[in-house]
Structure formats: C-alpha cells, structure tokens
Amino acid sequence: MENKTLASVRKPIKVLDGKVMLIVCIIIVAFLYAANIFGIFSSNTMRYLMKIFLYITMGEMWNLLSGFTGMTSLGNQTFIGLAGFTVAVATSTYNLPIWLGILIGLAIGVVVAFLLSFVLFRMRGMYFAIATWVIAEAICTAFKSWPYVNMGGGMSIKAKPYPKTPEIYLMALTLFVVAMIVVYLLLRTKTGLGLTAMRDDADAASSVGVNIFKSKLLVYVIAAGFTAIAGAIFFINKGTIYPDSGFNIDWTVSMVFIVIVGGIGTVSGPVVGAIVYVLLDEFLAHFPGWSNIILGAIAILVILFLPDGIMGTLQKKLHFEIFSQKRFSEHKKDIGKKAQLQ
C-alpha cells in the first residue's frame, strides 16, 4: 500500500520523442545540410561542427558499449587507428579513391571487432576494459615496426582531388545523423531492450533468455564500424596519421569525458558532451599544458556533483526523456509515436 502512494507521488516521466521532437531534429539536420550547400558557415565554423559531429559519433558508440550494454571499453582507438591507416594505405600505396578507403577501413574495423570478440567477451568489467586497451597498445606497437605502414614514420593520405572542408563536413554530418538513427532504432528493438538488462545483470539477463554473446557482438561490431568511419574522416581532415596519433588512448579519454559529462546511458548525453568537449578543447588550446588538467578537473567536478551528467541530471530533475529507450505499460498517452515504431 505504501508503494501505491509512492507511485502517485512520483511525477510521470514525459517522453519527448513524439512528433515534435522528430520535427525539431529534422529542422536542425536540414539546416546543417542547407548551411553547407548555401555556404553560410565559414570554414572555421565548419571545422568546429565537423569535429563535434565526429566526437558525437564516437561518444554515442562508447555510450552504447558502456552506458547501455555494460561493456566499458578503453580500446575504441583501435578502430580509429585501423581505419585511419587503411585510408592512408589505400590512397597513397594503392591510389584508390578515398571513399573506397573509408569503406575498406569500415570493413577492417568490423572484421577486427568480430575476431576480437571471441577473446574479449570471455572477460567482463575491468578485465574487459584493460584487455581492449592492451590490444590497442599492441596494435600501435606492431604498426611502429611494420614497414607496410611506414613503421613509426607516419603516412599521409593522398587523394586527387583532395576533399575540401565542406565535403568533409558533409561526410561527418551524414555519419553523425546515421549514427544517431542507428543508436535510436537499435535501442527500440528487442535486442535493445535486452541490452539494458544485460548492463544491470548479465547472468540474470541470460537466465531470462537474453542471448548475451549475440547481443554483445552486435553492439561491439556496430560501435567498431561507426568509430572506424569517424576515425577515417578525422584523419582525412588531418591529412597524416602516425601510430601514436591513431591508436592514442586520448581518443578514449575524450569519449569517456563526453559521455560522463553529457550523461551516461542517455541518447542525448553524448551530443551535449561532445559540444562541451569541442568548445572547451578549442578554448583551452590557448593554454597549452593546462588543457588536460582543466578537462580532468571538470570531469571530476561533474562526477562529484552531477553523477548523471548534464542530460541525465536535467532529465531526472525535470522528469522528461529525449529519445527514451524506456518501455511503458500503457502506450497511448505520452508515447504516441512509439506504437507505430514497433
């Protein structure tokens, strides 16, 4: 009985993924595309936005692994480095077009993720995290002594004509949009429902029939694929890649920062986190040496005072959720759009 009152005291959660949210998102995305076509943004703005799009994608993928599935990875840079080098090798060694380089990078990322899964999925929690990191470092070391990728000397990406900033911006924007749609839809599927259960208790999830290995594999491969493309685009923008830049743990550090600050386990969190991260990163570039210290301090403050991150705290305080993966027993009132999605 006491719980009955508890239930009535609790404010109902409003889910904002009905028509209004959809329209808002479409407008924002349409604007981002239109701005590119009509050349509204300066190339500096485009560079900022491009960075944001790529970091959102990487953050969403890390969040999908850690926040929704319970696989905290410290080795997503594996896929960034592999894809970056693939584009470099494809364009400079084999003179392939750049899009083909990206596709091969994607394929290599997915295949490597698939192969690694057989080793990695035997481990959980901290062991999984450390194993992913060790693998990334091992690949980095191997690349430094592999003549095929110019040892540690780095490679440059060559393409004729080399994609200009607006084109790279378009690639990044499209990747970000597709990544958001994939994450949202994945979480709405049966598998998506099982993921949250797995995160909370993998054994119990398995005992109610969730296929742990299959679900993990699906999520890991998706995360690897998108992270790989994001890495490829990043290095296309940069022009050169070294083992130390491609396989750097800093990639994962930024993903963790983005997800923790934005709100782990929320779809909107990494979007906010990535915007905060890129703006801070650009701003702090004026204070070389201090930037990591300040970023770290911010992360600690957020963990202490807003453990659910910016979006997580806002959602809890204001009782709403954007792109919620929640399932409700009644699906008429707030939910509207959801019934159609099923």
Binding site for other proteins (CB under 8 A): 3-4, 6-7, 10, 190, 193-194, 196-197, 199-201, 203-211, 265, 326-329, 331, 342
Closer CB to other proteins, 163 or 336, in the complex: 336
In whole angstroms, how close is the CB of 325 to other proteins at the nearest point? 9
Cα 256 to Cα 16, 58, 70, 91, 179, distances in angstroms: 26, 10, 14, 31, 18
CB of 303 to other proteins, least distance (A): 18
* Closer by beta carbon to other proteins, 161 or else 329: 329
| Least distance between other proteins and beta carbon 342 (Å) | 6
User: Closer CB to other proteins, residue 139 or residue 267?
Assistant: 267
Nearer to other proteins, 211 or 291 (CB): 211
Judged by beta carbon, residue 201 or residue 250, the one nearer other proteins is: 201
Q: Which residue lies nearer to other proteins by CB, 107 or 197?
A: 197
Angstrom distances, CA of residue 251 to CA of 40, 137, 199, 341: 30, 13, 23, 34
- Taking alpha carbons only, the member of 201, 208, 158, 176 closest to residue 54 is 176
Tell me which residue of 49, 75, 17 sits closest to 267, measured CA to CA: 17
Q: What three-state secondary structure class fits 263?
A: coil
What's 156's DSSP letter?
E
For residues 266 and 227, is the Cβ–Cβ distance under 8 A?
no
DSSP code of residue 321: E
Q: State whether the Cα torsion 336-271-186-199 is positive or negative.
A: negative
The nearest distance, CB 6 to other proteins, in angstroms, is 7
14 vs 144 by CB, closer to other proteins: 14
Q: How far is the CB of 212 from other proteins (least distance, A)?
A: 8
Least distance to other proteins, CB of residue 111, Å? 26
Answer for the pair 246, 231: CB distance below 8 angstroms, yes or no: yes
Residues whose CB is less than 8 angstroms from the CB of residue 15 and which lie 6 or more positions away in sequence, other chains included: 320, 321, 324, 326, 328, 334, 335, 338
CB of 205 to other proteins, least distance (A): 7
